[in-house]
Structure 1
Amino acid sequence: MNVVLIPGFWLDASSWAPVSAALEAAGHTPHPVTPLGAGGPAEEVAGITLADQAAAVAELIDGMDGPFVVVGHSGGGAVAHAVADLRPDRVEQVIYVDSGPLGEGGVVNDELPVVDGVVPLPDWGVFEEEELEGLTDEIRADFRSRAVSVPPLVANGAQQLHDERRYEVPVTLITSTMPEAVLRDLMAKDHPYVRELARIRDVTIVELPTGHWPQLSRPDDLAAAVVAAVQGEADAEEAMAVPT
């Protein structure tokens, strides 16, 4: 199975290294990406949107054969959902890592400060304590040293969706900062935070308790969870291909 890995804000393709290695060991083909415009100078990224980042991933998919699983962490989840909207006939599953699908007109985070035309990794005090769980001083220092900026319109621009077949694409949500029971309750109550998720026909939720960056705080466990979700989809594809 081809697996596209989209990192969240301030991370690049290298942040998926443990997950990529585990996928390869399991016989899958990872395609970690650095989102379009991430880390770029302000004058070059000012007009880049979520739609542009999704289109770049769709172009990657169009250049290869076979089905794909798309994985999105944090803000990368909004891009992953837009990719499912653009290519619902090619995406076999979307895996959200402490994230979820962003609906039409939604924004990832319009409260993040724009500094010199880009959105840099802010001070740690901006985040909730539960988001930072598992990030030791050493991990935080490494994260900050490797952090890449985000184009402003990716953070505060509106999501654009067009094809309701996206709701037919199965979803696995690996949740680190919110228990499954809470998510299911919010879905049942039509809470705006999970309204788009609740519209998806097939949703599996897997708990991986830690902070918002499990690829940093629990990389091996995240890798195992992603491989399990991908393998489940691959097994389903194989079963459908075998005549009965």
Structure 2
Amino acid sequence: MDIILVPGLWLDASSWDPVLHALKTAGHRPFAMTMPGVGAPASESSEIGMADWVDAVVNRIDEAGEPVVLVGHSGGGNVVWGAADARPEQVRRVVFVDTVPPPGGAISDFTVVDGVIPFPGWDFFPDEDVSDLDAETRARTAPLAQSVPARVPTDEIVLTRESRHGIPVTLLMGGLDQQQFESQVDGWGPYGEEYRAIADATVVKIGSGHWPQYSAPERLSELLVEAVGR
């Protein structure tokens, strides 16, 4: 099975390195992506938006020539859901890593510096997201984070095909199991409605913060292999 892995904001393909061995050992063909404009100055990335990120994944789906599994971490969830909407018949499953299927809209708004959005540092994020990242891990991974094009987090994705709701979905959530997630999701407005519209959705608790590829790689690897094999 071809598995296309899309990182969240500020991360590149190398962020998926901790899970690649397990996926390959299970007989899959993982392809970790670095999204257009990551790490590039504004002079090279100012015209790059969310549609370009979605198109990059769609192109990879088309190159595969057979149904694929899409995996998106954090803001990468918007990207893979947009790609799944564009190619619903070519996507076997979408796996969201500590994020949820968006109903459209944008990721979030961050401070722009010199025309790009730099990584704000681990201290920027709430404790529940980063408490399981020890000092060594933070020091090792922070230099790997790169700027993203200024438009990407605030560009809205366009979803047009209701058939995306027929794609099986797995949500690997850092701190929520299925019961806890179900008890909260209806209070999330359009996000709850999008989740409820999906015919086959499974929620599994990782037991981690927001970056399990760094803090719980073995657990994430195990759950990815399980999700892909469903």
TM-score, with length taken from structure 1: 0.90
Structure 2 residue aligned with 1:136: 134
Say which of 218, 223, 226 aligns to 1:225.
Answer: 223
Query: Counterpart in 2 of 1:63?
Result: 63
Measure, in 1, the Cα distance between the counterparts of 2:175 and 2:36.
27
Percent identity over the alignment is 42
Q: What amino acid is the match of 1:130?
A: E
Specify the code of the residue in structure 1 equivalent to 2:145: A
Q: Report the aligned-residue RMSD.
A: 1.4
Partners of 1:87 and 1:59 in 2: CA distance: 10
Q: Which runs of 5+ in 1 are unaligned?
A: 233-244
Q: By how many angstroms is 1:192 displaced?
A: 3.6
Selected match of 2:115 from 104, 114, 117: 117
Answering whether residue 62 of structure 2 is matched by residue 44 of structure 1, we say no
Maintained 8 Å contact 1:131/1:177: no
Give the CA deviation at 1:193: 4.0
Judge conservation of contact 2:103–2:191 (CA < 8 Å) in 1: no
* Structure 2 partner of 1:8: 8
Question: Partner of 1:172: helix, strand, or coil?
Answer: strand
Counterpart of 2:90? 90
Which residue is 2:179 aligned to?
181
Gaps of 5+ in 2: none
Q: Are 1:172 and 2:170 an aligned pair?
A: yes
Distance in 2 of aligned mates of 1:192 and 1:179: 21
Contact persistence 1:73–1:99 (CA under 8 A)? yes
Whole-angstrom distance in 2 between the partners of 1:182 and 1:51: 33
User: Retained in 1: the 8 A contact 2:3–2:69?
Assistant: yes
Secondary structure at the aligned position of 1:40 is classed as coil
Whole-angstrom CA distance in 2 between matches of 1:172 and 1:47: 32
> Contact conserved, 2:121 with 2:142, CA < 8 A, in 1?
no
Q: 1:5–1:32: 8 Å Cα contact kept in structure 2?
A: yes
After TM superposition, give the deviation of residue 53 of structure 1 in Å: 0.5
How many Å apart are 1:189 and its aligned residue? Answer: 4.4
Conserved? CA contact 2:94–2:170, under 8 Å: yes
- Would you say the 8 A contact 1:6–1:80 is kept in 2? yes
How many residues align? The count is 230
Give the distance between the partners of 1:196 and 1:45, measured in 2 at CA: 31
> d(CA) in 2 for partners of 1:194 and 1:79?
18
CA distance in 2, matches of 1:55, 1:133: 34
Deviations 1:11-47 (A, max 9, x none): 1101111211111000010011011211111122112
Q: Tell me the CA shift for residue 65 of structure 1.
A: 2.0
Moved over 6 A (4+): none
1:152 and 1:31, CA in 2 relative to 1: closer, same or farther beyond 3 A? same
- CA offset digits 1:129-161 (Å, max 9, x no partner): 000021011111111111111112111111211
- Normalised TM-score (structure 2): 0.95
